[in-house]
Amino acid sequence: MSAATAGTYSPAAAAGEKRRERKEELRRHLAEDADWPRADGRSFHDCRPALQLMQTGPTTAASGSAYAEFGKTKVIVSVFGPRESKKAMLYSDTGRLNCNVSYTTFATPIRGQGTDNKEYSAMLHKALEGAVMLHTFPKTTVDVFALVLESGGSDLPIIISCASLALADAGIMMYDLVTSVSVSCFGKNIIIDPTSDEEAWQDGSLMVAYMPSRKEITQLTLTGEWSDGKITNAVELCMDACSKLCDILREHLKDASSLAE
Amino acid sequence: MEHDGGEVVTPGELLGNSLSLLVGRGAYADGRCVRASITGHRRLVPPPSGSTDQRSTVEVVGHKAHGAVPQPGSVVIARVTKVMARMASADIMCVDSKAVKEKFTGMIRQQDVRATEIDKVDMYQSYRPGDIVRALLSLGDARAYYLSTAQNELGVVSAQSITGRFMMAYNVLTNDAGSSCVYQKLCDAQAHVATGFRILNDVGEGFALLLRLRYN
């Protein structure tokens, strides 16, 4: 009898239990407001530190420029002009803002992948055009060139903040500095300033570009899956983070200006 | 500089209330708030004595501002680069009193050279490549800014003669004196009163006079 039992076998009813349990646990984890540690040790509502790795004026040939490094994301933005608009452009009384975002070939772990983000140029333009006083440089163009040296998540928000720093460095008249912060949505949780790994697994994302002194949002991008109650929360979280980031940018501009004298 | 005392402000920062302050350079009004639009030092300029408005003007000065940009109505200094039958093109070098950092192209059309007898203007006799011109700017079209020299105080201010001598406009800035004064000066220098656009007069020290026909 025992030999027969040994010859056959039947799957245990509870075989998948362990796997299911693990999955369930992860789901619970996501469903709770638990604050599990993130890969870089931050808690959910911690942004990556910015101040010490920010710089104005790295590109000497440009009218203004800025470098920003948030965690692994490294961005350099150069502002040229105001200079004469290209001949092919139509006549316009006000100034133009020309934005271009490009990635180095080594920006992403897989070579050349950064070129997927073609819409970033248009989005950067949309985020900045509300803040720049275009009427102060009629018929001319201000060029904003952003180069992502390393892509480590939240690229566009960092490009936007860095570009407004570069515009301020160039002395372009602006209504206010624009800062931008994005959040990722994981189940019930909202994670601020996601890294590229977190962005790859997110359910949804929200990016807000904000002028803190004027309390105006210049751009808001919402993608993916969101339950309605969380969006308001997330926008408020972003706005608060933007204000704090803006204070850091102001501090930096003031330091740079007093150093220059 | 006078800006030393003022605190450093950045774009968007509140400078004060528009009820007590007037908006100056580098600042703008946003409803009742006066805010900075560039990075620099905040400076208060007291109202001119005798003005009815007792509010001071707040400015942001000191830190670098972007290069000069041609604005309609500004007087520019330009260098003529190309002369054609109906127009001359010129590179703008200064806007008002500031040098420009970037290249801006201006165009002097035949009808903008002088105020009278505009149909008889000969571009080749009015301008030569290399001439330095003082002109009034308007925005023009998509291709270039339009420059106008149709005023007494506008026109060629400095040029080289064919022999390579440096020429300078003589008395071009005399508005009220008009042609008689210019003739007088020319006569003093024993000029040949020519009928052309350019009157070249050697006064000895490698210095010559240049004059445009509208004074004749």
pLDDT for the residue numbered A85: 85
Q: A36 falls in which pLDDT band (50, 70, 90)?
A: low
CA distances from B123 to A34, A148, B23, B126, B214 (A): 80, 51, 44, 5, 14
By CB neighbour count within 10 A (0-12 exposed, 13-18 middle, 19+ buried), where does A110 fall? exposed
In terms of pLDDT, which residue wins out, B6 or A64?
Answer: A64
Asked whether the predicted pLDDT for residue B203 surpasses 50, the reply is no
Tell if the CB–CB gap between B72 and A213 is shorter than 8 Å.
no
Looking at the complex, does the CB of residue B67 fall below 8 Å from at least one CB of chain A?
A: yes
Q: B170 falls in which pLDDT band (50, 70, 90)?
A: low
pLDDT for the residue numbered A173: 93
Asked whether the predicted pLDDT for residue B205 surpasses 70, the reply is no
Phi then psi dihedrals of residue A195, to 5 deg: -85, 175
pLDDT for the residue numbered B97: 83
Q: A161 falls in which pLDDT band (50, 70, 90)?
A: very high
Q: What is the mean pLDDT of chain A?
A: 86
Asked whether the predicted pLDDT for residue A141 surpasses 90, the reply is yes
What average pLDDT score do residues B100-125 get? 85
User: Residue B160 in contact with residue B172, Cβ under 8 Å?
Assistant: no
In terms of pLDDT, which residue wins out, B72 or B163?
Answer: B72
Chain A residues whose CB is inside 8 A of the B147 CB are none
Looking at the complex, does the CB of residue B10 fall below 8 Å from at least one CB of chain A?
A: yes
Nearest to A175 among B12, B64, B142 (CB): B12
**What percent of chain A has a predicted confidence (pLDDT) above 70?**
89
Q: What is the CATH number of the domain that holds A192?
A: 3.30.230.70
Tell how many helices (H) and how many strands (E) occur in chain B.
Answer: 2, 16
Q: Is the ipTM of this complex over 0.85?
A: no
Tell if the CB–CB gap between A83 and B103 is shorter than 8 Å.
yes
Looking at the complex, does the CB of residue B71 fall below 8 Å from at least one CB of chain A?
A: yes
Asked whether the predicted pLDDT for residue B180 surpasses 60, the reply is no
Asked whether the predicted pLDDT for residue B52 surpasses 60, the reply is yes
> B115-137: per-residue pLDDT in tens?
777 888 788 877 888 888 888 99
In A, minimum Cα distance to B12 occurs at A176
Looking at the complex, does the CB of residue B84 fall below 8 Å from at least one CB of chain A?
A: no
Least reliable range by pLDDT among A12-21, A90-99, A219-228: A12-21
Give the number of A-B residue pairs with CB atoms closer than 8 Å. Answer: 103
pLDDT for the residue numbered A52: 65
Q: Which residues of A touch B (CB under 8 A)?
A: 63-64, 81-85, 87, 89-91, 93, 133, 136-140, 168-177, 211-214, 249-250, 253-254, 257-258, 260
Amino acid at A259: L
Tell if the CB–CB gap between B11 and A177 is shorter than 8 Å.
yes
Tell if the CB–CB gap between B142 and A253 is shorter than 8 Å.
no
Query: For residues B39 and B61, what is the distance between their CA atoms, to the nearest angstrom?
Result: 8
Grouping H, G, I as helix, E, B as strand and the rest as coil, residue A27 is helix
Which structural domains are found in chain B, ordered by start?
2-61 (2.40.50.100), 75-215 (2.40.50.140)
Tell if the CB–CB gap between A89 and B66 is shorter than 8 Å.
no
In A, minimum Cα distance to B9 occurs at A254
Looking at the complex, does the CB of residue B103 fall below 8 Å from at least one CB of chain A?
A: yes
> Is residue A209 domain-resident?
yes
Amino acid at A125: H
Determine which of A92, A94, A213, A248 to mutate to test the interface with B (most B C-beta atoms within 10 Å). Answer: A213
Task: Report how many domains make up chain A.
Answer: 1
Q: A119 falls in which pLDDT band (50, 70, 90)?
A: very high
Tell if the CB–CB gap between B63 and A258 is shorter than 8 Å.
no
**What percent of chain B has a predicted confidence (pLDDT) above 90?**
27
pLDDT for the residue numbered B5: 60
> A234-249: per-residue pLDDT in tens?
999 999 999 999 999 9
Nearest to A213 among B14, B66, B102 (CB): B14
Q: According to the per-residue pLDDT averaged within each range, which of A39-48, A164-173, B42-51 is highest? A: A164-173
Tell if the CB–CB gap between B142 and A89 is shorter than 8 Å.
yes
Q: What is the mean pLDDT of chain B?
A: 73
Q: B55 falls in which pLDDT band (50, 70, 90)?
A: confident
Tell if the CB–CB gap between A138 and B139 is shorter than 8 Å.
yes
Nearest to A168 among B39, B105, B143 (CB): B39
Q: A35 falls in which pLDDT band (50, 70, 90)?
A: low
Torsion sign across C-alpha atoms A171, A173, A176, A181 = negative
> A59-100: per-residue pLDDT in tens?
999 999 999 999 899 999 999 989 988 877 788 888 999 999
For residue A182, what is the DSSP state?
E
Which structure tokens are listed for A173?
């008249």
Q: A41 falls in which pLDDT band (50, 70, 90)?
A: confident
Least reliable range by pLDDT among A76-85, B91-100, B158-167: B158-167
> Is residue A131 domain-resident?
yes
Torsion of CA A189, A191, A197, A201, to 10 degrees: 30
Q: How far is A140 from chain B (nearest CA, A)?
A: 8
| Host domain of residue A157 | 43-259
Query: For residues A128 and A126, what is the distance between their CA atoms, to the nearest angstrom?
Result: 6
Which structure tokens are listed for B49?
């004595």
pLDDT for the residue numbered B106: 94
Q: How far is B140 from chain A (nearest CA, A)?
A: 9
> Is residue A73 domain-resident?
yes
pTM of the model: 0.81
Tell if the CB–CB gap between A174 and B37 is shorter than 8 Å.
yes
Amino acid at A227: S
Chain A residues whose CB is inside 8 A of the B13 CB are 213, 250
Chain B residues whose CB is inside 8 A of the A213 CB are 12-14, 35
In terms of pLDDT, which residue wins out, B34 or B194?
Answer: B34
> A181-211: per-residue pLDDT in tens?
999 998 888 899 999 888 888 889 999 999 9
Least reliable range by pLDDT among A2-11, A37-46, A88-97, B90-99: A2-11
Which structure tokens are listed for B61?
């000065």
For residue B175, what is the DSSP state?
S
Please name the residue that has the structure tokens 């528009």: B18
Q: How far is A90 from chain B (nearest CA, A)?
A: 6
pLDDT for the residue numbered A15: 66
Least reliable range by pLDDT among A215-229, B39-53, B56-70, B152-166: B152-166
